[in-house]
A = this chain, B = another copy of it.
């Protein structure tokens, strides 16, 4: 039996460093908003590096870049992808790792003269972050039928610049026929963006799916009044009611296994230290992998609001403003990634993704799996985002091993 093959850690690291220089920020991070000048530079460089690796590059109508390595047979491709765009002052690895890790998989196959029965396609998805043009994951969402191309084209950034015009200007408006696929599977390598792997002391993890999310907007109408002249017993303080709601939401999150529950946005009126708050608006976020549990959390919120209304003489109105269904990955793909993990020499810890990814939509198109890499402090969307070279290589080795199996290396 031969020594197991590994990806080239130094080459991967050099590749990540090369791309991190495009849009580099003084704080050590990257600003590379979708279809900005920096994004164009990174895209142009990716196409060059793809071609050098022997991939056939094509651009589709959404600006997605696909680099194809043919298989020995014409069957559906194994797609490996992620995104090169970042948020403002984001990190070096969020997205870039999945694209450049996929490129490293191809380079490693080339190094060893390996063919695969099925084709391999390396994809850079357009506008994963949604930082410049909302919503996030638009291009993969279109692949899944969640949006139409026209919806994407008409999106404008905060300066009023239209997405379609930027796509044309940078030369990234291609043909619909050039979209990735047809696919036999989709694999995405990504930093965890959470602290679970760090807490477990493990370099990589096997993702079981992307959690579902419900955002509920809660409007609390109380009675504004002078703080000094209104006795405690005669108040209808909307912020004090909100405080109880926030505490109850936190308790729900703590007591429901696998759930998180957060109030991240809140505003109040009149927001004057001398006036009892008369109106509060806040958004409650629930995430859970199981749809029934997620819906039960939203129902519990309604009951909490009813109780607080009765207790405090306020009126809470709840409007669901966003629902994202849980996207579990198929057990067969998850098992396959777990096997690849163990073959590469790492314990296969399973976890759910609490953040959205293009994989969430690709799961509607073909069997999908994800590999997470340990992220220091769980930080992401931050210039301080960091994963060690060893961990980045570990994740890429898992991606490599999984690809060998699915694409049927010869």
Taking Cβ atoms with an 8 Å cutoff, the residues of A that contact B are: 192-196, 199, 211, 213, 215, 225-234, 237, 239-240, 242-244, 246-247, 250, 253-254, 259-268, 271-277, 283, 285, 287, 353-356, 378-381
Provide the bound-state CA to CA distance between A352 and B287, in Å: 49
Which single member of B266, B271, B378 contacts A271 (CB below 8 Å)?
B266
**7 tightest Cβ-Cβ pairs between the two chains A and B:** A194-B229, A228-B354, A229-B354, A243-B246, A273-B283, A243-B243, A227-B262
Is the pair A264, B274 in contact by a Cβ cutoff of 8 Å?
Answer: yes
Is the pair A260, B228 in contact by a Cβ cutoff of 8 Å?
Answer: yes
Give, as a whole number of angstroms, the nearest-CB distance from A92 to chain B.
Answer: 17
Is the pair A239, B263 in contact by a Cβ cutoff of 8 Å?
Answer: yes
Is the pair B243, A273 in contact by a Cβ cutoff of 8 Å?
Answer: no
Is the pair B273, A254 in contact by a Cβ cutoff of 8 Å?
Answer: no
Residues of the B chain whose Cβ atoms lie less than 8 Å from the Cβ of A272: 264-265
Residues of the B chain whose Cβ atoms lie less than 8 Å from the Cβ of A287: 227-228
Q: Which residue of B lies closest to A265 (CB)?
A: B273
List 14 A–B pairs whose Cβ atoms lie within 8 Å, in order of A's numbering: A192-B229, A194-B229, A195-B231, A226-B381, A227-B285, A228-B354, A228-B355, A232-B260, A233-B254, A234-B378, A244-B247, A264-B271, A264-B277, A267-B271
Query: 9 extra interchain contacts, Cβ-Cβ under 8 A, other than A232-B260, A234-B378?
Result: A194-B231, A195-B230, A225-B378, A239-B266, A240-B246, A263-B277, A264-B271, A265-B271, A274-B285
Which single member of B194, B230, B265, B285 contacts A354 (CB below 8 Å)?
B230
Residues of the B chain whose Cβ atoms lie less than 8 Å from the Cβ of A215: 273
Provide the bound-state CA to CA distance between A381 and B229, in Å: 12
Provide the bound-state CA to CA distance between A283 and B274, in Å: 9
Is the pair B266, A268 in contact by a Cβ cutoff of 8 Å?
Answer: yes
Provide the bound-state CA to CA distance between A233 and B211, in Å: 18
Which single member of B199, B239, B356, B379 contacts A225 (CB below 8 Å)?
B379
Provide the bound-state CA to CA distance between A240 and B261, in Å: 11
Residues of the B chain whose Cβ atoms lie less than 8 Å from the Cβ of A378: 225-226, 229-230, 234
Given contacts A237-B250, A277-B264, contact A213 B199 (CB under 8 A): no
Give the residue among A244, A246, A356 with the most B Cβ atoms within 10 A.
Answer: A246
Which single member of B239, B240, B260 contacts A227 (CB below 8 Å)?
B260
Provide the bound-state CA to CA distance between A287 and B232, in Å: 11
Give, as a whole number of angstroms, the nearest-CB distance from A84 to chain B.
Answer: 20
Q: Which residue of B lies closest to A275 (CB)?
A: B264
Q: Which residue of B lies closest to A277 (CB)?
A: B264
Q: Which residue of B lies closest to A211 (CB)?
A: B228
Provide the bound-state CA to CA distance between A309 and B217, in Å: 29
Give, as a whole number of angstroms, the nearest-CB distance from A46 to chain B.
Answer: 26
Given contacts A266-B268, A273-B283, A283-B273, contact A380 B226 (CB under 8 A): yes
Give, as a whole number of angstroms, the nearest-CB distance from A2 to chain B.
Answer: 38
Q: Which residue of B lies closest to A193 (CB)?
A: B229
Give, as a whole number of angstroms, the nearest-CB distance from A380 to chain B.
Answer: 6
Residues of the B chain whose Cβ atoms lie less than 8 Å from the Cβ of A192: 229
Given contacts A265-B271, A285-B274, contact A354 B193 (CB under 8 A): no
Residues of the B chain whose Cβ atoms lie less than 8 Å from the Cβ of A195: 229-231, 234
Provide the bound-state CA to CA distance between A356 and B267, in Å: 27
Give, as a whole number of angstroms, the nearest-CB distance from A321 to chain B.
Answer: 9
Is the pair B274, A260 in contact by a Cβ cutoff of 8 Å?
Answer: no
Give, as a whole number of angstroms, the nearest-CB distance from A33 to chain B.
Answer: 17
Residues of the B chain whose Cβ atoms lie less than 8 Å from the Cβ of A271: 264-267
Q: Which residue of B lies closest to A278 (CB)?
A: B264
